[in-house]
Structure 1
């Protein structure tokens, strides 16, 4: 199913526009690419099976700040007419929900602390206390 994606990208110069167009055109499943908007700051992509989030993140990395403005799928009838489906609002960014085991690690092994005076000759200035029976940490 074909879909139409409109992405707003900050492109201050012609070199940035060329870079954005070549990046989008090289993506798999893209049928056509065009510039839109008064300031030519929107990239219109028509394609089959194009991931808009991945496309926007690639544009962010290579060109500059990018934002998905519109997603619309174009359905085909048996008569051959193309009907534009209602555009999906793209104002809310997609959120990633990790699985339960993604951030969980096994607990660390228990730590044992031994409170013993150092061996003879290794602790300069060590003074043994009279109540050195108990550990000060515990």
Structure 2
């Protein structure tokens, strides 16, 4: 089943955002990754069979200030 996962990233650094997007894109089952929000601080990940906890943990390893906001079935 397809899921939409929103992870809030608390950083102003463009390089840090790109690192977070690369980590998410390399995760198994991810179809798309994009930054949203007025200050581009929300990473939206869409895919099937994604382990949400593992995704959030791997993003936190690269970006210290990341929190899981929304997990939604599509």
TM-score normalised by the chain length of structure 2 = 0.93
Q: Any residues of structure 2 matched to 1:1-138 within 5 Å, and which?
A: 1-74=1-74
**Aligned length in residues:** 74
Quote how far apart the aligned CAs of 1:11 are.
Answer: 2.4
Q: From the CA coordinates, give the structure whose radius of gyration is larger.
A: 1
Structure 1 runs of 4+ with >2 Å offset: none
Give the TM-score normalised by the residue count of structure 1: 0.52
- Write out per-residue CA displacement over residues 28-72 of structure 1, whole angstroms, 9 at most, x where no aligned residue: 100000001111111000000111111111111111211111111
Hey, which of these two has a bigger chunk of helix by percent? 2
Unaligned runs of 5+ in 2: none
CA contact (8 A) 1:60 1:66 kept: yes
CA RMSD between the two structures: 0.9
Structure possessing the higher relative contact order (Cα contacts under 8 Å, 6 or more residues apart):
2
Partners of 2:35 and 2:2 lie apart in 1 by 18
Matched-pair contact (CA < 8 Å) for 1:11–1:64: no
Which of the pair is proportionally richer in strand? 2
SS across alignment from 1:20: helix
SS of equivalent residue, structure 2 residue 73: strand
